[in-house]
Amino acid sequence: MQLAIRLRDAGREAVVINADSAQVYADLAVLSARPSVEEMRGIEHRLFGEWDGAEACSAADWAARASDVIAEVHARGAVPILVGGTGLYLRTLLDGIAPVPPIDPAVRELVRAMPVAEAYAALQVEDPPRAAVLSPADTARVARALEVVRSTGRSLAAWQADLVGGIGAIVALHPAVLLPPRDWLYHRCDLRFAMMLDRGALAEVEALLARRLDPALPVMRAIGVPELSALLAGEISRDEAAARGAQATRNYAKRQFTWFRNQPPPEWQRIESEHYDLEQMFASLLRD
C-alpha cells in the first residue's frame, strides 16, 4: 500500500493485485485478513474475494485471470502491484504452466480413492523420478503425479518441461521479497489469529459450514477453518482453537519464509528487516 500511495502522490495510478491463495475466496474475508475498504485507502484492488468457495481456484486459474488484469492495467498506463505469499501462483504467472490435458475422470476417481501408501508405491513403479522427490505422505502431490502419468502416458516432469503462458519475459519486474526476523514474524502470526477471533472469524466459519461444501475444497482447508470447525463442533475449547490456529499460521509462515528465501531468482532483492526504505527498494519504478 505504501508503494501504491507513493505512486499516486507522484501522479501515477497503481492497482493492487492479490496473489494470495486464501484471499481469492469471498468466504474468507476475516480468516484471510482481506483488506477492508478503509485499508484500501482509495486504491483499486483486484482479485480479492473473486472466487466463490465452492469453486477451487488453482494456480492456473489465478494466473490466467491475473494475466488479463495486468494487461488491462498496463493498457491504461497504470502500475500493477502484485502482493501476497503464494509462491506457486507467482511462479505460474511468470514462468507458465505445464499444458497437462484434462485427466480422465475414471483415472482420477480410482487414484484419489487409493490410500496414500498404495498410491506412492504405484508411483515408484510408474514414475520413479517423481516418487523420489516427493514425500510418501504427500497425498495431494502423489495423487496428482500418479493420475497424470496414468491418464496421459507422460510423467508430470515431461509436461513441466514445456511450460506455456508465462509473462515473466515480457514485463518489467521490480521484485522485493520481505524476510523479516522470524521472532518478529511469529509474534505477528500469534497476534493475527487472536485479532481474527475478535473480528468475527468464528461467525465466518459457521456460515461456511452451513454451505455444506466438499471438505476437500481449498476454502475448507484454509488456516483457521479446521480449527474453528472443531470449536463449533464442541471438540475443543476456544483457547485450544486459538492455540492451534496460531500454530498453523506460524507453520505456514515458516514454509513461506523458506520458499521465498530459496526459490525466487537470486537477483530479486531480499528485505530482511521489518523496516525498509521504500524509495531505495523501488527507486527505478518511482523514477520512471
The pLDDT profile of the chain, 288 residues, written as one tens digit per residue, is 889 998 999 899 999 999 999 999 999 999 999 999 999 999 999 999 999 999 999 999 999 999 999 999 999 999 999 998 899 999 999 999 888 899 999 999 999 999 999 999 999 999 999 999 999 999 989 999 999 999 999 999 999 888 888 999 899 999 989 899 999 999 999 999 999 999 999 999 999 999 999 998 999 999 999 999 999 999 999 999 999 999 999 999 999 999 999 999 999 988 887 777 777 778 767 765
Contact predicate 26/49, CB 8 Å = yes
Sign of the CA dihedral with 223 first, then 46, 85, and 148 last: positive
Prediction pTM value: 0.84
| Among candidate residues 144, 160, 176, the one where a domain is terminated | 160
Contact predicate 98/158, CB 8 Å = no
pLDDT score at 204: 98
Residues in the chain, total:
288
pLDDT score at 287: 67
Phi, psi (deg, nearest 5) at residue 30 = -80, -55
Same domain, 195 and 75: yes
Same domain, 173 and 218: yes
Same domain, 188 and 90: yes
Same domain, 59 and 129: no
Same domain, 47 and 81: yes
Contact predicate 24/84, CB 8 Å = no
Contact predicate 38/26, CB 8 Å = no
Of residues 28, 168, 24, 42, the one with CA closest to residue 85: 24
pLDDT score at 47: 98
Separation of first and last alpha carbons in the chain: 19
Any idea what DSSP says for residue 134?
Answer: S
Q: Helix or strand or coil: residue 71?
A: helix
Same domain, 26 and 134: no
State the Cα–Cα distance between residues 97 and 63, nearest whole angstrom.
Answer: 9
In terms of C-beta density within 10 A (0-12 exposed, 13-18 middle, 19 or more buried), how is residue 120 classed? buried
State the Cα–Cα distance between residues 275 and 117, nearest whole angstrom.
Answer: 46
Structural domain span for residue 192: 2-97+166-287
State the Cα–Cα distance between residues 145 and 29, nearest whole angstrom.
Answer: 32
Same domain, 72 and 11: yes
Q: How many domains does the chain have?
A: 2
Cell of 146: 500418479
Same domain, 91 and 132: no
Same domain, 187 and 262: yes
Same domain, 88 and 195: yes
* CATH number of the domain encompassing residue 117: 1.10.20.140
| Among candidate residues 130, 145, 160, the one where a domain is terminated | 160
